[in-house]
Amino acid sequence: MTALQQGTTEVVDPVPGAGAPHLPDQPDLVQLLTPEGERVEHPDYRLDISDDELRGLYRDLALVRRWDAEATALQRQGELGIWASLLGQEAAQVGAGRALVDGDMAFPTYREHGVAWTRGVDPLHVMSLFRGVDQGGWDPVARSFNLYTVVIGAQTLHATGYAMGLQRDGAENAALAFLGDGATSQGEVNEAMIWASTFAAPVVFFCQNNQYAISVPIERQSRVPLYQRAAGFGFPGVRVDGNDVLAVLAVTRAALAAAREGSGPTFIEAFTYRMGAHTTSDDPTRYRLAGELEEWKLRDPIARLKAHLSRTGIAGPEFFTAVDAEGDELAARIRKGTVEMPDPAGTEMFDHVFAEQTPELAQQREEFVAYHASFEGEQ
Amino acid sequence: MAELRQFKLPDVGEGLTEGEILSWLVAVGDSVTVNQPLCEVETAKAAVELPSPFAGTVTELLFDAGTTVDVGAPIITIDVGGGSDAAPAEDAPTGSGLIGETNANGRTAVLVGYGPRSTEAKRRPRRGQPVAAAQVTAPQVLPEADHSPAHTPLLATAPDARVKPVRHGGLEAARAAEAAAARRPADPAASASSATAGRGALRPLAKPPVRKYAKELGIDLTTVRGTGEGGVITRADVDAALAPPAEPQGAAAGDTRIPIKGVRKHTAAAMVASAFTAPHVTEFLTVDVTRTMKLRERLATRPELAGVKVSPLLFVAKALLLAAERHPMVNSSWDEAAQEIVVHGAVNLGIAAATPRGLIVPNVKDAGRLSLAELAGALTELTETARAGKTQPQDMTGGTITITNVGVFGVDTGTPILNPGESAILAFGAVRAMPWVHKGKVVPRQVTTLALSFDHRIVDGELGSRFLADVGALLHDPGTALAF
């Protein structure tokens, strides 16, 4: 047995789709780009897209993944309190984010880094939240991207309320509510859907079904495919291949257009997979098998677009090298910016509680300052 | 000029206080890049790799693998000077906020920016209380350049950082106890002192299963000396207390520790590589092999087969070879690098052999072309050479499919693990006289169980099943071979 092959078995950059057990028979799954990188047509969802846009989507996906990898490393180095990785869900997020137009508003969970990216949010403004320096540093109105919501499913109510506001303003825009598969079991989400349905509110519920509510598999969360639940609320439900950025873009565009036109809500189930841990505090090997992860690696959202771009000649090696280099620059900027973030002044906790400061808080702030001034030396 | 930075163990979960260094992935002298994995650390929540925050050269590993380390303790020293002549003065560590450095205010960045302080652990004094101030701000005792770092106190209040804070129960204590028990055989002196230090007047430290165990045995834990870290009472301690002084060495005295090396090491690596690379499926088939056994008796007397061993294994091997000819895909390999499946032209039939050196799998080259007599001769020679410990390396490489004969141990079947690089392995169980339905009646028949494990990347359930069924059919009725 001396000459036994003991090489590493990790597939770093698998041939997309090679031997991939295709998704279980899902006749309703909308797909425009197969795991092998083949463009296919769908009768209901057409997508006319330029080469520039395709390259742009690839760049989005690759840069978001690079950011995510750097953030995970920074957490392991003690620079972030926690990090919720989006690894594997890039296409679902970028596709959905790129479907938004001016005036639309997105309501994220705490994992929507890819959507944040498409809305032009500086990654450092997300990092500051996970470093515990602030509550998220971006302007939700300017970026049309609400602050991260950590309470599971609460943002679906915010989005529905916002959409009803749009409706009353007569604005031709829509709200896009993000949620995970686990959130569909929350009361708020069901309430939000009932209200949205009843009022035909211009809101799209974009559910990334990444197969696990932390450790609970989807089979133990729902007796029916999630998208079929929409029928019970009285609006359409669509299941899209969440690892296919083109299909996600097409489906979300169509749903947002319908909402803007007054056709009411849509529920989109982006069928995807969380390839990393729930957060850096989680160990997925305790509740799922390595084989499952390997299967999903073969459906990787980035590898399939790369295969498509390469095969069609839309992008060549120099393009991919340039994107990689840009990713490394981005990562370096994120690292430096995160590590150098100053601790916030203690008084900041009083400053943003209300839009207008209240006398009670102002007084507490003064007392806080005086208390700290009562010590010797520098703080 | 050397510019040393230390990486302190961060809290990789939420609110964790310690982690065990499972293994180092770098060694002293290695150059590392930012985010290169340095070590694997297991906490109560997860086992994770720690990526390097620095680029440079490793100058010191401050803890051995297997050690449980408190969050905030430096674990590695890295020279980030990169051999440049002069380190710029403004690069001095103070206040740069990097991990492994203490800021001017004594903070060490570990988690959310508020790590443990190594300078002061007390509050700043209130104005107008000079006496207290003098007491607390005094000790500036840690010389800058000294890193005998394993013992750097984390808190000024800790009398000695080597003495772990005693926790009463809880996962940390249990894990520490297990780790300590596994790591070193009992050291009576040390454990006695730590037990004294740890126990005090409180209830003795033991994890819940050990408490339950002691209770079941009627042992009062206050009478048991804990040999675990911090005086924690282990299961072995309870056992020792039950069987009084006879065992002065204490807990682990009966255990033997065998270094993992040689064939054992290769076997382990091969099995792990195989089990976690090839998705295994195992199928079973119980077969009436009475006719094969009768055929064996008849053939054994034939002159062609004189002088060779006509064993049941021979017939299993022949059946497998005939079936493999019909289903060539089972005789193939997965070439990950080339992204190709290699369908082998010849069947190099491996036979798993237990030898004094351990498990080896020599193979018969191009076994499909051998006559029954030649195959019998080859198998006999192969097993005898293996048992004599004289198998040559070339006999162990190039195998394409394997038989493991667990029946010789009187075992019915098993779920064999593929010999790495192969797509199928057949386990052959004991042949027993069993009650069996034969021609509509229950009669005693010679019955065995076959188990086929295959690499599901290459072999689908249908192919695996057909292959196994063919092997079974040939053993059930050797005459079937005429149809193959």
> In terms of Cα–Cα distance, which of A302, A332, A299 is closest to A21?
A299
Contacts of A282 in chain B (CB under 8 A): 45-46
From the candidate CATH numbers 2.40.37.10, 2.130.10.10, 3.50.50.60, 2.40.50.100, the one assigned to the domain spanning B4-151: 2.40.50.100
Alpha-helix runs per DSSP H in B259-349: 262-277, 290-300, 312-326
d(CA B226, CA B200): 13
Region of A205 (left: φ > 0; alpha: ψ -120 to 50; beta: rest) is: beta
Q: Residue A50 above 90 pLDDT?
A: yes
The residues with which A207 forms a beta bridge, in sequence order, are A179, A269
Output phi, psi for B283, to 5 deg.
Answer: -120, 150
The C-alpha angle A110, A115, A116, rounded to 5 degrees, equals 75
Q: What ipTM was estimated for this complex?
A: 0.74
CB contact under 8 A, A78 and B115: yes
d(CA A55, CA A96): 16
**Which residue among A3, A73, A290 sits closest to B51, beta carbon to beta carbon?**
A73
What is the radius of gyration, based on Cα positions, of chain A?
Answer: 22
Q: Which of residues 215-234 of B touch A (CB under 8 A)?
A: none
d(CA B36, CA A76): 11
Q: Residue B127 above 90 pLDDT?
A: no
* Residue A378 confidence (pLDDT): 62
Contact A238/A251 with Cβ under 8 angstroms? yes
Give the distance, in angstroms, between the CA of residue A80 and the centroid of all CA atoms in the same chain.
Answer: 19
CB contact under 8 A, A375 and B125: yes
CATH number of B262-483: 3.30.559.10
Tell me, yes or no, whether A284 and A360 share the same domain: no
Contacts of B47 in chain A (CB under 8 A): 283, 285
The predicted-structure confidence for A87-101, as pLDDT tens digits, reads as follows 999 999 999 999 999
Question: How far apart are the two ends of chain B, measured CA to CA in Å?
Answer: 76
Q: Residue A123 above 80 pLDDT?
A: yes
d(CA A32, CA A38): 8
Instruction: Give the residue numbers of B annotated as catalytic, written as ranges.
Output: 456
Please give the order of strands across the beta sheet that includes B68-70. B47-51, B37-42, B18-24, B68-70
Q: Reduce the secondary structure of A235-265 to three states and give it as a string.
A: CCEEEEECCCHHHHHHHHHHHHHHHHCCCCC
Residues with Cβ within 8 Å of residue A328, at least 6 apart in sequence: A66
DSSP assignment of B109-130 equals: --SSS---BSS--SPPPBTT-H
Banded pLDDT at B375 (limits 50, 70, 90): very high
Who has greater pLDDT, B97 or B207?
B207
Instruction: Give the residue numbers of A annotated as catalytic, written as ranges.
Output: 274, 278, 287
| Minimal C-alpha gap between B392 and chain A (Å) | 10
Q: Is residue A10 part of a domain?
A: no
Banded pLDDT at B162 (limits 50, 70, 90): very low
Percent of chain A's residues with pLDDT above 70: 93
* Residue A289 confidence (pLDDT): 84
State how far the alpha carbon of B70 is from the alpha carbons of A37, A72, A229, B172, in Å: 48, 21, 48, 11
CB contact under 8 A, B359 and A339: no
Tell me, yes or no, whether A120 and A182 share the same domain: yes
Tell me, yes or no, whether A117 and A152 share the same domain: yes
| Minimal C-alpha gap between B220 and chain A (Å) | 36
Tell me, yes or no, whether A165 and A240 share the same domain: yes
- Residue B279: closest C-alpha in chain A: A291
Tell me, yes or no, whether A174 and A307 share the same domain: yes
Banded pLDDT at B186 (limits 50, 70, 90): very low
- Residue B53: closest C-alpha in chain A: A77
Q: Residue A16 above 80 pLDDT?
A: no
CB contact under 8 A, B126 and A376: yes
d(CA A332, CA B12): 21
Q: Is residue A126 part of a domain?
A: yes
Output phi, psi for B341, to 5 deg.
Answer: -100, 125
Contacts of B400 in chain A (CB under 8 A): none
Contact B56/B31 with Cβ under 8 angstroms? yes
Q: Residue B76 above 90 pLDDT?
A: yes
The predicted-structure confidence for A265-304, as pLDDT tens digits, reads as follows 999 999 999 999 999 988 888 888 888 888 899 999 999 9
Chain A interface disruption, residue of B111, B114, B340, most A CBs within 10 A: B111
CB contact under 8 A, A340 and B97: yes
Residues with Cβ within 8 Å of residue B315, at least 6 apart in sequence: B289, B292, B295, B296, B475, B478
d(CA A187, CA A203): 18
Q: Which of residues 115-174 of B touch A (CB under 8 A)?
A: 115, 123-127, 133
| Minimal C-alpha gap between B96 and chain A (Å) | 7
d(CA A304, CA A321): 17
> Is A237 buried (19+), middle (13-18) or exposed (0-12) by CB count in 10 A?
buried
Banded pLDDT at A326 (limits 50, 70, 90): very high
The residues with which A134 forms a beta bridge, in sequence order, are none
Q: Strand, helix or coil at A227?
A: helix
CB contact under 8 A, A2 and B420: no
Total-model pTM? 0.55
Contacts of B420 in chain A (CB under 8 A): 4-6
- Beta-sheet pairing, B280-288 with B441-455: antiparallel
The residues with which B434 forms a beta bridge, in sequence order, are B445
Contact A180/A112 with Cβ under 8 angstroms? no
> Is B92 buried (19+), middle (13-18) or exposed (0-12) by CB count in 10 A?
exposed
d(CA A202, CA B401): 62
What integer best gives the mean pLDDT of chain B? 77
Least confident stretch, B186-200, B229-243, B274-288, B342-356: B186-200
Output phi, psi for A175, to 5 deg.
Answer: -105, 145
* Residue A25 confidence (pLDDT): 58
Contact B95/B103 with Cβ under 8 angstroms? yes
* Residue B179 confidence (pLDDT): 58
- Residue A20: closest C-alpha in chain B: B457
CB contact under 8 A, A4 and B110: no
- Beta-sheet pairing, A175-180 with A203-209: parallel
The predicted-structure confidence for A331-346, as pLDDT tens digits, reads as follows 999 999 999 999 988 8
Give the distance, in angstroms, between the CA of residue A296 and the centroid of all CA atoms in the same chain.
Answer: 18
The predicted-structure confidence for B170-182, as pLDDT tens digits, reads as follows 444 544 555 565 5
Contacts of A9 in chain B (CB under 8 A): 273, 276-277, 336
Q: Which of residues 274-303 of B touch A (CB under 8 A)?
A: 276-277, 279
Q: Which of residues 368-397 of B touch A (CB under 8 A)?
A: 393, 396-397
> In terms of Cα–Cα distance, which of A249, A330, A295, A299 is closest to A68?
A330
Tell me, yes or no, whether A59 and A202 share the same domain: yes
Least confident stretch, A55-59, A162-166, A302-306, B81-85: B81-85
Tell me, yes or no, whether A212 and A308 share the same domain: yes
CB contact under 8 A, B99 and A343: no
Number of domains observed in the structure of chain A: 2
d(CA B332, CA B353): 22
| Minimal C-alpha gap between A340 and chain B (Å) | 7
> In terms of Cα–Cα distance, which of B227, B204, B155, B175 is closest to B18?
B175
Contacts of B50 in chain A (CB under 8 A): 76-77
Mean pLDDT of A103-129: 97
**Which residue among B50, B109, B263 sits closest to A79, beta carbon to beta carbon?**
B109
Banded pLDDT at A3 (limits 50, 70, 90): very low
Contact B65/B21 with Cβ under 8 angstroms? yes
A266: CATH: 3.40.50.970
Axis-axis angle for helices B290-300, B461-476 (nearest 10): 50
CB contact under 8 A, B127 and A77: no
Tell me, yes or no, whether A189 and A145 share the same domain: yes
Contacts of B273 in chain A (CB under 8 A): 4-7, 9
| Minimal C-alpha gap between A259 and chain B (Å) | 41
**Which residue among B105, B111, B339 sits closest to A78, beta carbon to beta carbon?**
B111
Tell me, yes or no, whether A368 and A243 share the same domain: no
Contacts of B113 in chain A (CB under 8 A): 131-133, 341, 343
Banded pLDDT at B100 (limits 50, 70, 90): very low
Contact B50/B37 with Cβ under 8 angstroms? yes
Q: Where are the domains of chain B?
A: 4-151, 170-254, 262-483
Tell me, yes or no, whether A294 and A369 share the same domain: no
Q: Residue A379 above 80 pLDDT?
A: no
- A267 membership: H or E segment, kind and range: strand A266-271
Q: Does B32 touch chain A (CB under 8 A)?
A: no
* Residue B128 confidence (pLDDT): 60
What integer best gives the mean pLDDT of chain A? 90
Contacts of A15 in chain B (CB under 8 A): 339
Q: Is residue A12 part of a domain?
A: no
| Minimal C-alpha gap between B177 and chain A (Å) | 22
Banded pLDDT at A174 (limits 50, 70, 90): very high
Token pair belonging to A96: 């959905």
Tell me, yes or no, whether A145 and A249 share the same domain: yes
**Which residue among B8, B98, B360 sits closest to A1, beta carbon to beta carbon?**
B360
d(CA B425, CA B430): 17
Tell me, yes or no, whether A235 and A152 share the same domain: yes
Single-letter amino acid code for the residue at B218: G
Q: Residue B226 above 90 pLDDT?
A: no
CB contact under 8 A, B397 and A18: no
The predicted-structure confidence for B244-295, as pLDDT tens digits, reads as follows 554 444 446 678 777 777 777 778 888 888 888 889 999 999 999 999 999 9
The predicted-structure confidence for A212-249, as pLDDT tens digits, reads as follows 999 999 988 898 999 999 999 999 999 999 999 999 99
Q: Is residue A203 part of a domain?
A: yes
d(CA B300, CA B210): 60
From the candidate CATH numbers 3.30.365.10, 3.90.1150.10, 4.10.320.10, 3.20.20.70, the one assigned to the domain spanning B170-254: 4.10.320.10
Domain that holds residue A77: 29-343
CB contact under 8 A, A78 and B420: no
Mean pLDDT of A124-141: 93
Contacts of B13 in chain A (CB under 8 A): 280-281
d(CA A216, CA A185): 12
**Which residue among A2, A78, A79 sits closest to B266, beta carbon to beta carbon?**
A2
| Minimal C-alpha gap between A85 and chain B (Å) | 14
| Minimal C-alpha gap between B130 and chain A (Å) | 10
Chain A interface disruption, residue of B34, B120, B126, B265, most A CBs within 10 A: B34
Q: Residue B435 above 90 pLDDT?
A: yes
User: A–B: how many Cβ contacts below 8 A?
Assistant: 118
Percent of chain B's residues with pLDDT above 70: 73
| Minimal C-alpha gap between B7 and chain A (Å) | 8
Output phi, psi for A234, to 5 deg.
Answer: 95, 25
Q: Does B11 touch chain A (CB under 8 A)?
A: yes
User: Exposure string (b/e) for B109-121, b if CB count within 10 Å is 16 or more?
Assistant: bbbbbebbbbbbe
User: Exposure string (b/e) for A125-150, b if CB count within 10 Å is 16 or more?
Assistant: bbbbbbbbbeebbbebeebbbbbbbe
Output phi, psi for B358, to 5 deg.
Answer: 125, -165
Q: Residue B467 above 70 pLDDT?
A: yes
Mean pLDDT of B206-211: 88
- Residue B394: closest C-alpha in chain A: A3
- Beta-sheet pairing, B424-428 with B401-404: parallel
d(CA A339, CA A167): 43
* Residue B200 confidence (pLDDT): 43
